[in-house]
Amino acid sequence: MGVKAVHRITTGRNGLGAFILQCKKMDFHYCDWAGSSKGMNGFIKSILPKFAAAHPQIEFTVSPRPSKHPVIIGHYINGRDKAICVRNLEPLQILKKVELLRDASGEKLKKVTKPVQSINESVRGIWSPYHGNGMRV
Amino acid sequence: MRTSRPDQPFRAVRHQSTSALALDSALEATAADEPYDDGTDHVRFPPLERLPNATKLPSPLPERALTSAKLAALHARLSLPQKLPLQTLARALVDISADENPLFNNVNLAFVGQTITHYHVAEWLMCRYPRLPMTIMYAAMKAYAGDETLHSVARSWGVESAAEPGGEVDSGLLQFSMYKPVSHIGFGYGRKDNSRVEQGRWRRGIANRVLFDDDFGEQIGYDTRKKAQIPTSSQRTFSYGTEETRAAAERAHAAAVRAVVGSVYAHCGREAGKAFIRAHILSRTIDVSTLFEFKSPVVELARLCQREDFEPPVARLLSETGRLSRTPVFVVGIFSGKDKLGEAVAGNLDHARYKAAMNSLKSWYLYSPGENVRVPSEMLVEGSKAWEPTYIDIGEIIHG
C-alpha cells in the first residue's frame, strides 16, 4: 500500500545558477624554425599572456612541435577535443580561432533548425482532439 | 680569539662535508653490492635519478597546490572566492581511498558539506512541496543530493581523476583508488543488527526509516548490491571497470563535491555556502511527478476524500471515440461532488480510471505554495522580514 518511489536523478542546466565554461584546457604548439609558425610565435609572445590572464578558468599549455605546422587544441568538459591548424595565419587571425575554441561547447557540430530548445514542458500543453467544442466539418 | 672564531664553523662544515661524503660512498657501496649489478661503468653511464621523495607519500603535499595549473583553473571555473585557498581545494580532491590520514583527505570537509547540502535541499523541498509523501521526499532528496547526482555535478565541473593516487600526482586531479575497499561516511542512526532486517524479522517501515536510517532513508552500513569481490591488481585487465569500480568512482566524485561545499562553508561562511548549493545543486531540475509509483490509486484517492471530508470520488466518462475500433480512446474524469479532481486519456476504461486517479492524487501531493517560497534558513540573515509560518500537511494518506 502507499506510494513507492522511482529512482531518478536531476538534470543539470548550465548557466542557470552557475555557468561553467565548457573549454577547460588549450594546448598551443609552435615551431621555432618554420615559416608557417611565424604568426603563431608572434601570438604567443604578444597576445597569449593577456588572453590567458583574462581566462583563468582555462588551463593553458605551450609546447614546441618542431618541423610541424602550428596547432591549437581545445579540450572540453564533455571529454572531446577540437584541434585547429593555424599555419600561415596572422596573430589576430589566430586570436579569432582561439576565441572560437573558447566559445565552443565541445559537442560535434550539428545543424540547428529550431531557434529554441528546451527541456521544460510546453506552457500551452499538447493539443487534444477530445477537449473543447471541436469544429463542425 | 677573533682569529679563531671563524675557524670553528669552518671546521664544523668540513666535518659535515666529510661525513656526508662518507655517507655517499657508503650508499654507493651498498648500491654496488646489489645482486643485479651487471658491471656497467657507472662513471660513464651514471644511474638514473632516484624518484623524488614525494612518490612515497599517499597524496601530494599541500604546498604543491600553489603550482598546479589544473587546480587554479578549477578554482576559477567554479568562481570560488579568493578566501578559499588552493590548498583546501586540493585537499577536497583527495579521497579517503587515496589517503587514509584524516589530516590530508577530504572526509572531514565532505562531512560538513554533506550536512549543509542535505539541510538546504531538505528545507527547500519541504517548503516547496509540503504534501510529498515521505518515500517521495527521500527519492527527491536523493535525486538532488545523492551520489549519482553529485558524480555528474563533479563531471560537469570538469574534475579529472588520476589513474592512481600518489604523492607525485598533480594536485588538481581527483585522487581515489578503485581497488581499495573503504567505508565511506554515512550520517544517520545505524541499527545494531542489519541482518535482522535482511532476514525480514524486523519491519522497516517509513516511520522506522525516519528514526533510524540516513538522509535518503537507506540503511547505514548495508549495501543493497550483492557484495562482490574487489578485483586485485593482477586482475585489472578490463578497460571499463566493473560495477564495483564504477561505484567507487561515483562515491569519490560525490565526496569531492561535498568537500568543496564544505570548504566553501568553512572558509567563506553560511551565506556563501548556501549560494554555492543554490547555484550548483538546487539549480538542477527534475519533474517530481515522475517519481511516483502508485500501488492502488483508486483506494488511496477514496481514503483521501474520506479524510478530507470530500464527497466520495466517482469516475465518469467524459468523452470517447471508436469504442468498437482497434484503437478506442476514453477520456475519464474523477469527480467529488461537482469538483473535478483529475482526468486521463487511455485505451481502455479501467486504465483510464486508474490514470485519472493517479493524476488526482498527484495534483494533491504536488501542491506548491510557489517557486520562490521562503525557507527557514532565510531567517538567519540579519534584518530579514518576520517569518510567516509555512504550510505544513497533516501527513500521509496511507502509511506504508
**Beta-carbon separation of A5 and B138 below 8 A:** yes
- pLDDT bin (cut points 50, 70, 90) of residue B196 is confident
Tell me: the pLDDT tens digits for B212-248? 888 898 887 665 544 445 555 555 555 567 788 888 8
CA of A52: which chain B residue's CA is closest? Answer: B73
Integer distance in angstroms from the first to the last C-alpha of chain A? 49
- Average pLDDT value over all residues in chain B: 85
Spatial strand order in the sheet of A23-30: A59-64, A23-30, A71-76, A81-85
Which of A18, A24, A121 faces B279 most closely, judged by CB atoms? A18
Residue A15 vs residue B237, higher pLDDT = A15
Residues of chain A found within 8 Å of residue B146, distances taken between Cβ atoms? 9
Q: Provide the shortest C-alpha distance from residue A35 to chain B (in Å).
A: 31
Query: Which pLDDT score, from 0 to 100, does residue B260 have?
Result: 98
Lowest mean pLDDT among B6-10, B76-80, B194-198, B361-365: B6-10
Q: SS in 3 state form for B27-67?
A: HHHHHHHCCCCCCCCCCCCCCCCCCCHHHHCCCCCHHHHHH
Residues of chain A found within 8 Å of residue B70, distances taken between Cβ atoms? 59
Task: State the count of interchain CB pairs (< 8 A) between A and B.
Answer: 126
Residues of chain B found within 8 Å of residue A10, distances taken between Cβ atoms? 143-144, 149, 284-286
Residue B365 vs residue B237, higher pLDDT = B365
Q: Are A64 and A29 in contact (CB under 8 A)?
A: yes
Identify the residue among A1, A3, A19 best suited for mutation to test binding to B, counting B beta carbons within 10 A and taking the highest. Answer: A3
Q: Provide the shortest C-alpha distance from residue B397 to chain A (in Å).
A: 8
Alpha-carbon torsion B63, B68, B70, B75, what sign?
Answer: positive
Which of A1, A8, A17 faces B290 most closely, judged by CB atoms? A8
Which of B72, B280, B296 faces A18 most closely, judged by CB atoms? B280
**Beta-carbon separation of B284 and A58 below 8 A:** no
Whether residue A54 lies within 8 A of chain B, CB to CB, comes out as no
Query: Which pLDDT score, from 0 to 100, does residue B197 have?
Result: 78
For B346, the 3-state DSSP assignment is strand
Query: Which pLDDT score, from 0 to 100, does residue B229 have?
Result: 52
Whether residue A126 lies within 8 A of chain B, CB to CB, comes out as no
Query: Which pLDDT score, from 0 to 100, does residue B20 have?
Result: 42
**Beta-carbon separation of B149 and A13 below 8 A:** no
**Beta-carbon separation of A24 and B158 below 8 A:** yes
Angle, in degrees to the nearest 10, between helices B134-145 and B147-156: 30
**Beta-carbon separation of A3 and B158 below 8 A:** no
Whether residue A13 lies within 8 A of chain B, CB to CB, comes out as yes
For B221, the 3-state DSSP assignment is coil
- pLDDT bin (cut points 50, 70, 90) of residue B24 is very low
- pLDDT bin (cut points 50, 70, 90) of residue B48 is confident
Which of B135, B280, B286 faces A8 most closely, judged by CB atoms? B286
**Beta-carbon separation of A17 and B283 below 8 A:** yes
Residues of chain B found within 8 Å of residue A25, distances taken between Cβ atoms? 73
Burial (Cβ within 10 Å: 0-12, 13-18, ≥19) of residue B262: buried
- CATH code linked to domain A23-103: 3.40.30.10
Other Cβ atoms less than 10 A from the Cβ of B70: the count is 19
Q: Provide the shortest C-alpha distance from residue B338 to chain A (in Å).
A: 19
Identify the residue among B74, B75, B77, B397 best suited for mutation to test binding to A, counting A beta carbons within 10 A and taking the highest. Answer: B77
**Beta-carbon separation of B133 and A6 below 8 A:** no
**Beta-carbon separation of A6 and B291 below 8 A:** yes
Residues of chain B found within 8 Å of residue A61, distances taken between Cβ atoms? 69
Query: Which pLDDT score, from 0 to 100, does residue B36 have?
Result: 66
Q: Are B245 and B225 in contact (CB under 8 A)?
A: no
Residues of chain B found within 8 Å of residue A130, distances taken between Cβ atoms? 318-319, 321, 329, 331, 345
**Beta-carbon separation of B295 and A4 below 8 A:** yes
Tell me: the pLDDT tens digits for A24-56? 999 999 999 999 999 999 999 999 999 999 999
Residue A89 vs residue B55, higher pLDDT = A89
Parse chain A into domains and list their residue ranges.
Answer: 23-103
**Beta-carbon separation of B77 and A24 below 8 A:** yes
Q: Are B398 and B301 in contact (CB under 8 A)?
A: no
Query: Which pLDDT score, from 0 to 100, does residue B7 have?
Result: 42
Pairwise CA distance, residues B168 & B172, whole Å? 12
Query: Which pLDDT score, from 0 to 100, does residue B93 have?
Result: 97
**Cell numbers at B176, concatenated:** 581515489
**What is the set of domains in chain B, with CATH numbers?**
57-186+221-232+241-290 (1.10.1520.10), 295-367 (3.30.160.20)
Stretch B157-162: mean pLDDT: 95
Burial (Cβ within 10 Å: 0-12, 13-18, ≥19) of residue B241: middle
Tell me: the pLDDT tens digits for B293-312? 999 999 999 999 999 999 99
Whether residue A63 lies within 8 A of chain B, CB to CB, comes out as no
Q: Are B216 and B138 in contact (CB under 8 A)?
A: yes
**Beta-carbon separation of B345 and A5 below 8 A:** no
Nearest to B88 by CA among B228, B260, B255: B260
Query: Which pLDDT score, from 0 to 100, does residue B172 have?
Result: 95
Q: Is the ipTM of this complex over 0.90?
A: yes
